[in-house]
Each structure stands twice: as C-alpha cells, then as structure tokens.
Structure 1
Amino acid sequence: MSQTVVATTDKLPSRVSWGAILSGGLVAVTVGAMFNILGVAIGAGTIEPTIPGETPDASTFGIAGAAWLMVSNLLGLAAGGYVAARLSGTADDTDGVLHGLSVWAIAFLISAVMLGNVAAGTARGVGALVQGAASTATSAAAEAMPQAGNLTFDPEALAERLQSSLQGGGDPATMTEDQRRAEMTRLVAERARSGAFTPEARDRLTALAAVEFGIPQDQAAQRIAELEAEATQMTQRAETEARRAAEAAAQAASIGAYWIFATLLLGAAAAVIGAKVGTRKTLLLASRRYG
C-alpha cells in the first residue's frame, strides 16, 4: 500500500463573494419594503371614517403594525440570505451561513442609511417651512410699517412712563397704578425664583395689594397666603408629574431597546435559515488507491 502526502504553504483562496452579499442585501431590503407597503395598504383599507366603530383603535393599529413590520423584515432577510448563499456558489454550510450573516449586516446598514436620509429630508422640509413663515411675517411687517407711521409716537413719553412704572419702595397710596403693578410683578417673580416670600417681601406685597384692590390688609394677606399655598401645591404636582414622565420615558426607552435587540436577533436567525436553504448541495465522492 502506498500513500502520497503533499504539503503546501500556499494561501487558501478567499471563499467570500461580495457580489452575492450585496445582491442579497438589496433583495432583503426590497422584499421587506414590499411587504411593508402591502401592510400600509391593508391598514389603510381598514379605516372607515364614515362608519363609527368600524375603524380599529390606535393600540390595535400599533400592535398589528409592529407585528407586520417584524414579519416583513424577517421574510426579507430570509430571502436575502437565500439569494446570497445561492449566488456565492458555495457548497459548505458554514460559508453559506456566513454569507447570510453578511447579508443581515448589509441590510441593517442600508436600512439605517435610508432612515437617516428620510429624517434629514423631513428636517430640511420643516426648516424650509419655518423659513417661509418667517419671510412672510417679515413681509407683512414691512407692509404694515407705512400704516403705523401715521400714528403719533413719542419716545420720550414712553421712556418716562416705563421709568416711573419701574420705581418702587414708596408709599403704595401715593404710587401710580403702573408702579404698584410693576412692583407686585417683581415681588411675585422673586418669589417664583426663590421658592418663598421673605417677611419683608410679604408685608410689602400685602400693602401694595390692599391699596391696589381697595381691601383691608388682613384680607390682602389672607389672599396672598392662599395664592402662595396654591402655588406650592402646583409646584409639587408639577415635580411629581415630571418624575413620572421621566420614569415612563426611561421605561419606554428600555423596552424599545429590548425589542430592537430581539428584532435584530430574529433577523439574523432568518438570514441564517435562508442561507442554509440556499446553500448548494453536492455529493462528494472520495476514492483511495491502495497498492
């Protein structure tokens, strides 16, 4: 019996077919888009605006749309994996699976680029609308300026009135209505920033309110206390709602990330299955010579 062993150090030839991978990726994206368009057509056909109660609610639409989107992407990736494995000409299951995974990655990148272009186009459209609205407003203001020129306008009188309205700290009874209201607004704004009235600010606001509304100081103090308590309750409710909204947003982001991960994992599995089906099957016969 004789046996010949041949040793070689030559580099093994590459068994990857980028043409097959790109073709499979395009097929995956196209088939997925085709089924998604079909889903939009079916969903739009279920809307019955003229018949109350016949149109499915928003939650049903959301669940059905998400399920259809997942199924469409899985079918597209399975078809893309099959095409890539078949066109690669490989008869090795591992090579076919790797071609299918490459199609999965390429299809994901193509979809991301397409979604990015759609988002950029939407942003440009919104920017154009805002710019057009601003241009229209500017034109309208320019057209209105000649008409406004017919009105009497005294800058010195306006500045004097603003200056007098900002003055405060005097006797509320001798102050003008503009002065009292300006100082009351300032005190309330300081309270909103600090979170509470100082004793001096509360007494001053009470005196101003009593003169402004013509009520006794004890009644004015009672009104201010009631308004302050209501403002405190509103602030607490706003903080509670903000915490709840932040918690809900974080939970929604977490659930969305898990769903995206599951979708990608299922997509990889679909591409692998399609590639295994598309891998060529050959019968290898081995012969040995004995002597």
Structure 2
Amino acid sequence: MSYVERPGGNYVGEPAVVAPVVDYHDRVRWGPIISGLVVALATQLILSALGAAIGSTFLAGSGAPRSNAPGVGTGVGIWSVISLLIALFVGSWVAARACGPMNRNTALLNGAILWATTLALSSWLLASGVSGAFGVAASNAGEVINQVQQGGVNVPNPQPRVSAAQAREIADNAARALWSFVIGSLLGLAASLAGASTGAQSPREHRVR
C-alpha cells in the first residue's frame, strides 16, 4: 500500500500493483519430463521386483505351492497395476517440482505428456520384445524348412481348426485384455495428473510500489 499526500494534509492510499513473475515462456519442459520418466521407470521396477519377491517368498514357504500359485499370480498382477499408478504419480510429482514455479494448468500439461511418453515407451519396448522373439522364431523356422527341403522331405501344411466355442473364448480373452489396457491407461493418466498437480509450485510474485 502506498500513500500520496494531497493538499490539506490528507493522505490517500493507493493499492499496490501485484505483477506475477513468469519464469518460463515454454510450457513444455522436456528436461523435467525426461527426469520424471526415469524416476517413474525406476520406481515401477523397484515396486514390481518387491511384489514378485514377496510372492516368490510366499510360494517357497507354502505347503501347497501349486494350489497357491494362481492366487499369488493374481496378487502380483494387481500389485503391478498399483505400482504403475504409484510410479506415474511419483514421476509426475518429480517432473512438476523440477520445472520450477508454474501454474496448475502447465503442471497438468507436463504430467499428461509424461504419461503419454511413458505409454509410448512401454509400447515400443513391448513391441520390440515381441518382434524380436518372432524374428528369432522365424529365422529358426526358415532354417528348418531349408534343411527339410534339401533333404527331399515334404513339409505338411495342416489347417488349424478352431471351434465356435474356442473362437468365442479367444475373443472374450482379447476383449478383457483390451478393456484392461484402456482402463489401466486412464487410471495411469489420472495418477500422472494428480502427481503433477500435487508437485506444482505457484509462480513467485513481487510487489511494485
């Protein structure tokens, strides 16, 4: 508050002007996003290893490991989803804190980009692993076929027969997997946004007198 002296000895107060300081003009900060991505992957790895270790320890000390294996597998799967949500929350929080002062909308934007980057990287790693496995299998199959053809042996080409019940079961399993992926991805987005919103720092303000 500033005061101005006017004739007659009266002092009139004028409100101070508050001007926010904009620290960054670029709303997308790839450095903090990559840092948050690394933290998220490391957190996911540690938590997943912890869940697998607990499940393996339980089976090792169990009197009926074969009977308890399905339940332990289900528990490990649920823990994997929970650990993914925790990892995305922590990674987005780290990214928001590393960005410095920003408003909430910018923090949410960076959190969403971190989630999308994590999803794209995970899909690429999964696709690379699957294609690599198929590549090795195709290479081995090609060598076997060449050897058989050189030996003068005909390679049978049986036609797979799938019943209607088996086709419905395959479609049902595929639908469950796809819906689980969609729901898990949306939950991961929510966790990333929550972490970014929690870690966001308000821009500093200075008063001009």
* Alignment TM-score, normalising by the size of structure 1: 0.53
> What code does the residue aligned with 1:252 have?
N
SS across alignment from 1:47: helix
The residue number in structure 1 matching 2:32 is 20
Identity %: 25
| 1:1-291 correspondence runs (5 A) | 13-48=25-60, 53-131=64-142, 133=144, 242-281=163-202, 284=205
Point out the structure with the larger strand share. 2
> What code does the residue aligned with 2:174 have?
A
| Alignment check: 8 A CA contact 2:59 2:68 kept | no
Q: Deviations over 1:237-284 (max 9, x none)?
A: x8xx82222222222222222211110111011111111221124664
SS across alignment from 1:14: coil
Select the structure with the greater relative contact order (CA < 8 A; seq sep ≥ 6): 2
Q: In 2, Cα distance between the equivalents of 1:267 and 1:30?
A: 16
| Alignment check: 8 A CA contact 1:46 1:56 kept | no
| Alignment check: 8 A CA contact 2:84 2:188 kept | yes
Change (3 A) 1:278 1:250: same
Count residues with an aligned counterpart.
181
Displacement of 1:41: 2.6
SS across alignment from 1:258: helix
Displacement of 1:107: 0.4
| Alignment check: 8 A CA contact 2:108 2:197 kept | yes
Point out the structure with max Rg over C-alpha.
Answer: 1
* Alignment TM-score, normalising by the size of structure 2: 0.71
The runs of 5 or more residues in structure 2 that have no matched partner are: 1-11, 16-23, 153-160
Change (3 A) 1:136 1:48: farther
> What code does the residue aligned with 1:270 have?
A
Change (3 A) 1:245 1:58: farther
SS across alignment from 2:201: coil
Deviates most, 101-110 or 116-125: 116-125
Q: In 2, Cα distance between the equivalents of 1:93 and 1:249?
A: 44
Q: In 1, Cα distance between the equivalents of 2:93 and 2:163?
A: 50
Q: In 1, Cα distance between the equivalents of 2:116 and 2:109?
A: 11
Q: In 2, Cα distance between the equivalents of 1:33 and 1:117?
A: 19
CA RMSD of aligned residues (A): 3.2
Q: Deviations over 1:22-80 (max 9, x none)?
A: 2212222232123223333333333349x762444453244213201101211110111
Change (3 A) 1:128 1:35: farther
Displacement of 1:83: 1.3
| Alignment check: 8 A CA contact 1:29 1:110 kept | no
Q: In 1, Cα distance between the equivalents of 2:148 and 2:51?
A: 42
Q: Deviations over 1:89-130 (max 9, x none)?
A: 133111111111111000001101111111122123323443
